[in-house]
Amino acid sequence: MDAFFVSVERILDPSLEGKPVIVGGDPHGRGVVAACSYEARKLGLHSAMPIRTAYRLCPQGIYLHGHGTEYGRYSRAAKKILEKYFPVVQQASVDEFYLDFSGCERIYGDAFSFAQKIQLEIWKQLSLPCSIGIASNKSIAKIASDYKKPKGITLVPDGSEKEFLAPLPIEKIPGVGKKLFPLLRLRGFKTAGDIANASPDYLSVLLGKSGVDLWEKANGYGTDVFASVYERESISKEITFDTDIISKTKIEAFMFELTGDACQLLRDENWQTSTVSIKLRYSDFVTITKARTIKPTDDDKVVFDTATGLFRKAFARRVSIRLIGIHLSKLSRFCEQEVLFEDEEIIRKRMLRAVMKIRGKYGCKAIHIGVN
């Protein structure tokens, strides 16, 4: 998806169209850019950039905290469209999918024309722009999907992978990040072709196993095997305060919001958690984590009570707090069993499902779950 978070924000507020939009919070705070529009990218902004740096580069930008629940809702809607057509859909992230087109040519025609159809259907139904890469393996398809953003479709014919990659800068290869990029440039590597033409033994000595992997990617090799199910391992929500806080009451109020968002994600994916963890970072950057194993649940009250219990034990210093976070792991599928007599637990679970449906239709802020 193209600038997915920003695209969703523009659906929620059409007045943002054509303007430099940055999702990430208070521009004077201490967070980072989660996403930014192409108008903002032209000014040098990019994801993971400190939000204050972004503001210096683009003071005229519109800075938003974002709507996580809405992003999840639109992601699921896009996936439903894809699942109508493709036998295998692998979700790589909230806004990225791998699709197996093998054996579908006789049904849908050539891949490029069908990609145009999919792109148009997602736009008409959801008003979301997307870019599509078509190739013989996942690595090349990923690179191709970024080749003509936004709203681009790039087909790399089988056998032409190395030729397609050769002129691209090394940072376009998945896995070449902030640490690897300067090391490769120092050794004279500027393009994917430079890496492809290097000795794999040299890259192995230089980078270890990742060097061989990089050489294979630069030569157009990659995996064409992938699982059809995207299994989430954990859910995390955290907030860095604009100003350090020492009040337990205020901190727990933020934990209430984080818990609500995290538990809503659980219910959206039909998960339950059996391990609740908190992260506490003091103003002097001392960081503490605490965890507790509980009976599998997706109930805001149970998770919040567990998290606040951990917090009250961990908050043992008279030092203000910079960051608070909640982490849910050991996830398992929720299965509602038929029962002859409904107890309070079953009634509450059904209430939570009703809340999920309301939020799915009207947004996360439409209804809150009490924890007292």
**What's the CATH number where 352 sits?**
3.30.1490.100
Last residue of a domain, one of 66, 85, 104: 66
Residues 6+ apart with CB under 8 A from 34: 5, 23, 24, 47, 66
pLDDT computed for residue 232 by the predictor: 62
What per-residue confidence (pLDDT) applies to 363? 59
196: in domain = no
- Structure confidence by residue, pLDDT tens digits, 244-290: 999 999 999 999 989 988 888 888 778 899 999 999 999 988 889 99
Per-residue pLDDT at 181 exceeds 70: yes
Nearest Cα residue to 146 out of 184, 120, 173: 173
| pLDDT tens figures, 297-306 | 998 999 999 9
Q: Considering the domain boundaries, does residue 169 fall inside one? A: no
Burial class (CB in 10 A: 0-12, 13-18, 19+), 182: exposed
Question: Which structural domain range is residue 337 located in?
Answer: 234-366
* CA–CA dist 302, 328 (Å, integer): 12
Q: Show which residues are catalytic.
A: 96
Domain end, chosen from 49, 66, 83, is at 66
360: confidence class by pLDDT, cuts 50, 70, 90: low
- Is 72 part of a structural domain of the chain? no
pLDDT (tens digit per residue) in 39-90? 999 999 998 899 999 999 999 999 998 888 899 899 999 999 999 998 888 8
Percentage of residues of the chain with pLDDT beyond 70:
88
Residue 32 forms part of a structural domain: yes
Copy the structure tokens of residue 28.
Answer: 């004077």
Residue 24: CATH number of its domain: 3.40.1170.60
What does the mean pLDDT of the chain come to? Answer: 87
Residue 82 placed within a domain = no
Domain count, the chain: 2
User: What is the model's pTM?
Assistant: 0.66
> Where a domain ends, among 19, 41, 66?
66
- Dihedral through CA 353, CA 356, CA 357, CA 359, nearest 10? 160
Question: Is residue 311 in some structural domain?
Answer: yes
pLDDT digits (tens, 9 = 90+) for 285-295: 888 999 999 99
